[in-house]
Structure 1
Amino acid sequence: MGIKDVKRDRAALDPALILSELAKTSSTWRDIEVFEQVSSTNDLVIARLASANPDAVLVVTADEQIQGRGRLQRVWQSPFGAGIALSIAIPTSAFPCPVSAIPLLVGLVARNCLAQHSDLIRLKWPNDLMLISSNKQLKKVGGILVQLQGRHAVIGIGINTDLTDVELPTEFATSLALAGISIRREALIASLLNALEQILNNPDPEWLTAYRAASCTLQSEVLVTLPADRTISGFASNVLISGALVLDTPQGQIEITSGDVVQVRSQLT
C-alpha cells in the first residue's frame, strides 16, 4: 500500500466528536476551528489574532498542513489524517511561568497526556516529544512551537499519531501507531486542550520538577549546536525556571537559552 492509498483510507477529523470529548472534561475552550487542509495552523491563528479580542483564546486544528514548521524553521510533515496539528493562542499573562519557559510547560502538558497511553514518552530540551523505541533509541514523535504575537503566545502542538514508516521524514522520527499506541485524534485534541486549560487555571508549583523527571536530556552528556553554528558539549545537569538548560563543562557551568541538542550518551529508563 502506497502513501496515496494510506491517505485515502484515513478519516477526517470530526468536529462534533471533538466537542463531545471536550464535554467530558471541564474545559471551556469549545470555540474550535477545524480544517481539512491549511498552510500552517500557527499562521492561521496569527492571522485571526489581528481582529480578535486582546484576551481571546483561539483554537485551530487541521487534518493536514502543507507548510507546517517546527523550531528553527524546520519543515514539519503533517500528512492528511496522520497526526495532530493544533494551535492555540493564549494571552501570555495567563501562564504560571516565564514566557521563555512556555515551550517547556506545554511540552510537559503534552507528555502527560500521552503518558496516559504509554510510559515511553520523554521530553528533549527544549521542545521535543520523544518516544523510546523497541531498540532503546530515542525517536521524535512530536514537538512544540511557540511564537509570540503581541500579548499572545501562539502555541503549535504537532504529534505523529498514525504516520507509517514510509511517511516519516527521517529515520529519527516515529509515530504512536508504529509503537503500537492507538489514540483517536479527536480524544487527544480534547485531552490536550483540557490539560492545558487546567494547568493555567490551577497552576502546579512543582511543574518544573515534573519536567525534569520526564526529561531525557538531563543527566546526559550532550552536544549543543548554538546560533551561528557554534557548538558546545557538556553534562546536562539542570533546567531552570527560565527554561534555560544548564551544562557542566570543564570551563564551568553554562546556561543555554537556545540551541539544538544532540544526545551523546544517556540512560533510558
Structure 2
Amino acid sequence: MKHKILDRLHEVDGFLSGEKLSEEFGLSRTAIWKHVKALKADGYQIESVTRKGYRLVASPDIVNYDEIKEILHTKIVGSRVIYFNSLESTNKTAKEIAAVNNEGTVVVAEQQTKGRGRLGREWISPNRKGLYFSVILKPDTDPTKVAKLTLLGAAAVNRGLLDMGIQSQIKWPNDIVIKGKKVAGILTEMNCELGTINHIIIGIGINVNQSNEEIPYELRDSATSLLIESNRAINRKDLFAAVLNRLDEFYLDFIDGEDMDRVLEICREESAVIGKDVIVIQGSNSRKGHVVGINNDGELQVRFSTGLETVYSGEVSIRKEDEYI
C-alpha cells in the first residue's frame, strides 16, 4: 500500500490530504499515516501539514522498483525487483529464493557485507556508492551453453554505460574496464541437475560514485569508479534501469533461438584483450600468448608458442605483463 501512496504523492504538485488518501484507498487516516511513516523511514522526505496533508519533497538516492519503474522497459528482466538496504551478497540471496520466484526477478542491495567476485575474490560494496544486483534467469537451454550468459551480462553493462555516455571495454569474460582499470564485474552461477537448468544467477557489481579515497589503497592501481573516470556523479537509478533494459534486450534474443550475434559483436568490438599480448593464468601455470579473437561459442582464441588454443570461461585470469586489464 505504501507504494500506491508514493505513486499518488509523485503525481500531485503540492499537498495531498490524508482525508483524500483515506477515501481513495479505503483506509483510516491513522493507517495512511503509518504508511507515510514507513516511506519516511525508507528515506523519502515528506512534509506533513495539518489540514493540508502530505507533500513529497524529495526522493532518496535508492535503487528500488519505485525509483526505476518509469524508465524500466523490459519484458522479463525486472518483472520483480526485491530491494534490500544491506545483504551479505545479492547472489547468495538470489540463489536462496530462485526456486520460488519467477524468471527475471532482480535482487538489489544498497550495500553488500560479503560481496563476491569471480574465483571467490571479495567485491568491496560500500553503501549507496555502487550498484549491486543479481538477476534470476531460467532459460530452456543446455547447461554447456550457460557460459555465454556471462558475456551477455558484460555486453549489457557495456551498453548500459554507453547509454549513460560512458565508454568502457570488456575484459573477457566478465570484467568491465575503463582506461585499463576494473569498474564492474559479472559473476554467473548455475543450478542444474540431470542436464536440466533449474536457474542461473547473473550477479553484477558496478563501482559508481566512489571517490579515489574510497577505493581500497591496495586496489587503486587496478580498480576505479565511474565518478573517478567521468569526473561527475552518476545517477544510479538511471544506470540501473539502463543495464536492466539492455540485459532484457539481449536475453530475449538468447531465448529466441539462442541468438548471440549482437552480444558477440559487442564483446569483440569493445574487447580490452583482442589483439593484445597477455598472460594466461591457469591454476598455478601461466603462459604468454596473443589474443586472436572470440569464437562463436564465446570462447577466447589465444595463440601460444605451441599454436592456437581455445581458452574457456572460468579457467583463466588474464593480465597484461605490466598492468591490469
Into which bin does the TM-score normalised by the smaller protein fall?
0.7 to 0.9
Query: What does residue range 1-269 of structure 1 map to in structure 2 within 5 Å?
Result: 11-22=61-72, 25-28=73-76, 29-52=78-101, 56-93=103-140, 98-132=145-179, 138-150=180-192, 151=197, 152-169=199-216, 170-171=219-220, 172-179=222-229, 180-202=231-253, 203=259, 205-227=261-283, 229-257=284-312, 258-264=315-321
Aligned residues: 247
Q: Indicate conservation of the 8 Å contact 2:130/2:209, yes or no.
A: yes
Aligned-partner residue type, residue 264 of structure 1: E
Higher relative contact order (CA 8 A, sep 6+): 1
The separation in 2 between residues aligned to 1:259 and 1:181, in whole angstroms, is 34
**CA displacement 1:199-228 (0-9 Å, x = unmatched):** 22244634312211100111000001112x
Tell me: CA distance 1:94–1:116, structure 2 relative to 1, closer, same or farther (3 Å): farther
Give the deviation of 1:14 after TM superposition: 4.4
172-181 vs 34-43, which deviates more?
172-181
Amino acid at match of 2:223: A
Moved more, 205-214 or 59-68: 205-214
2-structure distance, mates of 1:206, 1:50 = 30
Long gaps (5+) in structure 2: 1-59, 254-258
Secondary structure of residue in 1 paired with 2:107: strand
Give 1:85 shift.
0.2
Moved more, 196-205 or 182-191: 196-205
Q: Which structure has the bigger radius of gyration?
A: 2
Worse-superposed segment, 239-248 or 40-49: 239-248
Cα distance in 2 for partners of 1:263, 1:92 equals 35
User: Residue 228 of structure 2 aligns to which amino acid in structure 1?
Assistant: L
Q: Secondary structure at the match of 1:123?
A: strand
2:30 aligned residue: none
Q: SS in structure 2 opposite 1:17?
A: helix
Q: Could you give the per-residue CA deviations for residues 3-30 of structure 1, whole angstroms, max 9, x where no partner exists?
A: xxxxxxx8433431122221xx244533
Deviation at residue 244 of structure 1 after TM alignment: 1.9
SS of 2:278's equivalent? Answer: strand
CA-CA distance at 1:81 after TM superposition: 0.2
CA RMSD of aligned residues (A): 2.3
For residue 59 of structure 1, what is the amino acid of its counterpart? V
- CA deviations 1:119-163 (Å, max 9, x no partner) are 53000011100002xxxxx11000100000232210001100011
Counterpart CA distance in 1 for 2:119 and 2:307 is: 27
- Post-superposition, which runs of at least 4 consecutive aligned residues in structure 1 deviate over 4 A? none
1:108 is matched by which residue type in structure 2? A
Q: Secondary structure at the match of 1:36?
A: strand
